[in-house]
Every structure is written in structure tokens, then in C-alpha cells.
Amino acid sequence: MFFTIPTILTWTRIVAIPLIIGVYYLPGMLAATQNLIATVMFVLFAVTDWLDGFLARKLNQTSAFGAFLDPVADKFLVCASLLILVHMNRVHVLVALIIIGREIAISSLREWMAQIGASKSVAVHMVGKLKTTVQMVAIPFLLYDGMLPGGLDSRLWGEVLIWAAAILTVWSMVYYMQKALPEIRARVQ
């Protein structure tokens, strides 16, 4: 199921990466306009994460390829956005390293656990979902980098949330490693 509606929506998150980055390289555009465009694009593309899963279930178009591509697209979008934010000095490099490093480590762990038939040990947990939600709220706040209606400073709230996401990232990584530890011990000995 390479070209179903849900899979096409998933592909849009990957296509979004050069578009969001490109906004910051358009000549003659005010920084505030670039920030607004990048924020709107990120939010629209992030919504496709929910929408593709919903439609896949609703239209009975779930597939192994879609199940593979969906988290890959999410990770690409988040990692690219974090790198943009590091480049613009809106995210500390330590936060980006924690989040990106965890994504690589847990993806590798899940792949290995699947190969040994123990993928249920590292199935998605609520801590991982909470981490994803917090970072998906933090990133648009940091991309926008301005005052929101009601005097809300998006940069301040984005920084608080991205650090919270980093803490949740470590917590979720520890959780998944603890769940995998019995299998790891059994295979190493």
C-alpha cells in the first residue's frame, strides 16, 4: 500500500522538511513572516501524523509499509526542525542531542527487539506519547518566536516545553531500556 491516502499524508511530512527549511532562506522576507510561515507549515504537517493514522484505520488502509514510514516521517520532521532551531539559537544543542540521540537509540532498540521476536517489550508507551506531544507543542512555539495574543511569549513557553520534552525523552528512554533489559540480558549471556 505505497500510494494510499494515509501513506501520501505520511510522505507529506518528509516533503515538508525542505519546505520549512527553505522558508528561512527566502530573500527579502521579514523574520517574523518567515517564523509565521514555518510555524503554520509545521503545525499543518504535524496534524497529518494524527490524520494519516485515523484515515488508515477508517478506510481500512493500514499496511506494514505505513507502519514503518509513519514514525520515520515523524522523526525526520522533528529532527530537522530541532536542527533549524539550534541553528537559529532557539534550542540548546544539548536538548537537540538528547532528543535526536534518543530517537536513534530507541529506533535501533525496537528494530533489534523485532528481530529477536520481542517487539512487545518496547511497544509505544504513554510516556513516549507524552514526550511526543510536548515536543510537538514546543517546536511551533519556538519556530514562531514572538508574542502571541494575550501577551504569551512563545519563545519562553517553547523553551520551557522543549526542556520538559528533553526530560520526558530521557524518562521514556530509561523506561524502554528497562523493558528491554530482560531480553538483552538473555541474549548477551
**Domain range annotation of the chain:** 1-89, 92-189
From the number of C-beta atoms within 10 Å of its C-beta (0-12, 13-18, 19+), residue 15 rates as: exposed
Q: How confident is the model at residue 189 (pLDDT cuts 50, 70, 90)?
A: low
Give me the phi and psi of 100, to 5 degrees please.
-65, -40
The pLDDT of residue 1 is 58
- Closest alpha carbon to 134 in 110, 156, 164: 164
Q: What is the largest CA-CA distance in the chain?
A: 61
Q: Using DSSP, state whether 150 is helix, strand or coil.
A: coil
Q: Which of 84-88, 126-130, 157-161, 184-188 has the lowest mean pLDDT?
A: 184-188
Task: Look at the alpha carbons of 51, 57, 58, 61 in this order and tell me if their dihedral is positive or negative.
Answer: positive
For residue 171, the one-letter residue type is W
| pLDDT at 49 exceeding the cut of 80 | yes
User: pLDDT tens digit string along 79-100?
Assistant: 999 999 999 999 999 999 999 9
Q: In the prediction, which pLDDT does 115 show?
A: 83
Partnered with residue 152 across adjacent β-strands are 148
Q: Where are the alpha helices (DSSP H) in 89-125?
A: 93-115
User: Across all residues in the chain, what is the average pLDDT?
Assistant: 91
Q: Residue 89 CB: number of other CB atoms within 10 A?
A: 8
* 8-state DSSP, 62: -
Mean pLDDT of 99-120: 86
pLDDT above 90 coverage of the chain, percent? 64
Which has the closest alpha carbon to 71: 87, 58, 92, 52? 52
This prediction's pTM: 0.90
Closest C-alpha among 77, 60, 79, 100 to residue 11: 77
Instruction: Name the DSSP class of 120.
Output: G
152-179: pLDDT as tens digits: 999 999 999 999 999 999 999 999 888 8
Do 186 and 159 contact (CB within 8 A), yes or no?
Answer: no
